[in-house]
Amino acid sequence: MTEDEMWRAVRDCDASFDGKFFYGVKTTGIYCRPSCKSKLPKRENVVFFSTKEEAEKAGFRPCKRCRPDLIEYDPAAELSRRTKELYDSHYSDRVQLGLDMKKMGVSRKHLTEIFKQQYDITPSEYLVQVRIAAARQMLQDGSSISDAAGMTGYENLSEFYDHFRRQTGMTPARYRQIFADNISRSVLETPIGPLRIIASKDAILCVEQAGRESLDAGARAGSIPADRILSGDASGDLVKDCKAQLGDYFAGKRKNFDLPVSPEGTDFQK
């Protein structure tokens, strides 16, 4: 390999040459991989080495950015991992997250490319997943929707609602209701598709279409077990009775229902 070929690899940050040679920068005393993203040095200040041992013997120190001294080191994987850790740690603090991301010294476009290569998802998509996962837990624990949005980094409620629905297949209000302590729920397969039944101890709160797309979204988000029938509780009995009456209805054995419903009625009634 000629020095001209090696210089082109350095100039192009060509990772396919990593491990085949190293280059040192005379003005800094640092040696790097061909794929190093540091500022391109002047050609006259560059010297090439076949191995990292040669570079170190000549008095050059390993670059702290591309870590040519670590054979298994993958700069793209490391940058993606650090980004993921920042999102996991600071998803709720937009200001701190922005400051930490700036310190990484990489463009949004480049970060998006390498992050997607590593995790098959963009950084923005991953951040949404982290925030909504945290919001789901807060809603399960009884937090208000506004608190769940604000404490997971959302400044705009409409954006929160949009992201939440995309991740779980339902609104935050419906999700919170499903996880209330005194609520029973179950999904019934019917000729018109799956129906989700939700009941309190006093009445049927909801009979709604639980479309396959919605169920799949919920499963991907790890959000909603299909059934939660409280044993020895009136809400559980109501759900069971509702499933039985719906079964009779779709079998042509029943035309009317004799179950208490919430004042708002249900989607099924409408």
Nearest one of 86, 74, 85, 69 to 37, comparing CA atoms: 74
If you compute the radius of gyration of the chain from its CA atoms, what whole number of angstroms results? 29
Alpha-carbon 73 to chain mean position: 25
Residue with tokens 């090696």: 6
d(C-alpha 135, C-alpha 145), whole Å = 8
Nearest one of 128, 224, 207 to 170, comparing CA atoms: 224
Phi, psi of 176 (to 5 degrees): -65, -40
Any catalytic annotation for residue 206? no
Beta-ladder partners of 85: none
Catalytic residue among 13, 32, 36, 206: 32
Report the SS3 class of residue 109: helix
**What type of residue is 229?**
I
Structure tokens at 119: 């995790």
**What type of residue is 204?**
I
Beta-ladder partners of 188: 195
Residue partners of 32: CB distance under 8 A and separation at least 6: 22, 23, 24, 25, 38, 63, 65, 66, 68
Catalytic residue numbers read 32
